Each structure stands twice: as C-alpha cells, then as structure tokens.
Amino acid sequence: MQLLIMGAPGAGKGTQAAKLAAKYNLVHVSTGDIFRSLNEMTDLGQQVRRFMKAGKLIPDDLTNRLVEERLECNDCMDNGWILDGYPRNVEQAQNLDVFTNIIRRQLTCVLNIHVPAEKLIERAIGRRICKNCGATYHVKFNPSKVADVCDSCGGQLYQRADDTAETMKNRLSVYEKNTRPLIDYYKQAGIYAEIDGTQTIDKVTEALFNVLSSVKA
Ligand code: ADP
Ligand code: AMP
C-alpha cells in the first residue's frame, strides 16, 4: 500500500503517519525529517535550514530527487510507504505520479487531515519532538509524563526552529497558495479522503483506520 497523508502545517500528519506506519507495516517517509537530518555543517544542510527557518519550500528539483532516492530503497519497495509532507505543490505531485508509474507503485489513497487555520498555530508552537527517536508531543494536547523527556526512550525533547508564530504565518500562506490546490488534484484522481483533524489524536487515528479498512491494498 502506498499512502499520502496531507494537511496544513500542524494538522497532525506526522503524529498519524507514525500510527499508520506501525499498523500497516509501512515506511514513514517525511520530507521534513529528511531535510532536518541533513548535516548542518555542509553547505546543503545550511541552505536547506535557511529555507525552513523562513517557512519557504525547498526547491522542487532537490526535493523530488531526495524523495525518489528514498522510495527506491528496498524497505519502501518491499513494504509500501506513507508519504508525509510531500508533495507540497502541483509540480511535485506530477513528478510523483510519473515516478510511481515508473516504479509501479502508484498511490493507493490520499488522506487529508483537515484542521481550521486558527488551531494550527497553537498546535505548532506547542509541538515538542524527541531528539533521539523523533516522537512528537504537545505541551497541552499530548504532553510527555515528565516535562521535556520522551516517554518512549527517555530522550530530550526540543522545539523546532520553524515552530514560531512568525514562521508559521509564512508556512500557512505557502500552504494556501501552493499545497491546498492538491486537494482538487487528488479529488479528480478519485483517491481522496478527508478526515476531521479537530478531534482528539485517538479519534483521528480511528477515523483513518476506518477509511483504510475499506481501501483495497
Ligand atoms: P504535522 O506533521 O501535520 O505538522 P504533527 O503531527 O507534528 O503535525 O502535530 C502538530 C502538533 O499538534 C504536535 O505537537 C502534536 O502532538 C499535536 N497534535 C497532533 N494531532 C493532534 C490532535 N488531533 N489534537 C491536538 N493536538 C494534536
Ligand atoms: P514539515 O516537517 O513537513 O513541517 O516541513 C518543514 C519544512 O521543510 C517546510 O516548511 C519546508 O521548508 C521543508 N519541506 C518539507 N517538505 C517539503 C516539500 N515537499 N517541498 C519543499 N519543502 C519541503
């Protein structure tokens, strides 16, 4: 199964993609995580961080190449994958269509988590991530048992450099202009489902599992 999870920044894509990956034994491919893992001591790592800090999209040629390299790996080819944060514009979606046709791994379903804009800033600003295992928390909606310590591995939690009110304004306007048009793109492809992301994390997971239970692998 090849899934795509969509939604505005802070909608809950990463949180839910981790749960879907565990349930269906899929590889979780997050472009944001790929970019954050680039070595910050290199020119490329520094350039990418500048785009991210400003809330801008990384250029398509680099983004498409990194995704293709990842999807061609054996774990993705053998198990299937869930894409999180890619594509983010129509050009990337077209590129993905061409690429998935070539590797014969077309998208099975596109899941869009819908959350109104006014809730997204609070979600992003309160987000905390484990430095060690990448688990995601929220200071109010999904707090760790001990402040700043990961429940699963004991790692230290940190706040992303782009999870500020100022950068979020740019990220949300980039989403409106570039990413929202993908909703129509995938509706036309007939593989689109929308989920109410304002519910609790567990309820959103349940809704996603329900959608997927009726989708053929
Ligand atoms: P995205 O990957 O879409 O940017 P995340 O999954 O990282 O979003 O979630 C953003 C923040 O909101 C995190 O701190 C997460 O714990 C929290 N969050 C995710 N889903 C929900 C939800 N349904 N209700 C409240 N908070 C949520
Ligand atoms: P995310 O972790 O998905 O919130 O992404 C964080 C940042 O990484 C974005 O604001 C962009 O700067 C960059 N990014 C992630 N995915 C993409 C993509 N598909 N295309 C371009 N830039 C991306």
**130, 114 Cβ separation under 8 angstroms:** no
pLDDT tens, position by position, 102-143 = 999 999 999 999 999 999 999 999 999 999 999 999 999 999
- Summarised one tens digit per residue, pLDDT across range 154-212 is 999 999 999 999 999 999 999 999 999 999 999 999 999 999 999 999 999 999 999 99
Whole-angstrom distance, CA of residue 83 vs CA of residue 34: 12
Residues 6+ apart with CB under 8 A from 176: none
pLDDT tier for residue 216 given thresholds of 50, 70 and 90: low
Q: Is 171 in the pocket of ligand 1 (CB under 6 A)?
A: no
Atom index in ligand 2 nearest the CA of residue 54 equals: 12
In order, the DSSP letters of 3-30 are EEEE-STTSSHHHHHHHHHHHHT-EEEE
Over residues 137-159, the pLDDT tens digits come to 999 999 999 999 999 999 999 99
Task: State how far the alpha carbon of 204 is from the alpha carbons of 19, 73, 195, in Å.
Answer: 11, 30, 7
What whole-number distance in Å separates Cα of residue 87 and Cα of residue 12?
16
Q: Which residue has the tokens 């790692």?
A: 155
Q: Which ligand is nearest to the CA of 92?
A: 2
How high is the pLDDT of residue 217? 53
Mutate to test the pocket of ligand 2, among 31, 38, 83 (most ligand atoms within 8 A of CB): 31
Q: Is 13 a catalytic residue?
A: yes
- In this model, does residue 36 exceed pLDDT 80? yes
The one-letter code for the residue type at 1 is: M
Domain(s) labelled CATH 3.40.50.300 in the chain stretch across 2-116+165-213
Mean pLDDT of 48-66: 97
Distance 93 CA to ligand 1 centre (A): 24
pLDDT at 215: 84
Judged by its nearest atom, the ligand closest to the C-alpha of residue 174 is 2
Determine the residue of 4, 33, 52 to mutate for testing ligand 2's pocket, defined as the one with the most ligand atoms within 8 A of the Cβ atom: 52
Tell me what pLDDT residue 90 has.
Answer: 98
Q: Is the CATH number of domain 2-116+165-213 3.40.50.300?
A: yes
Residue 128 bears catalytic tag: no
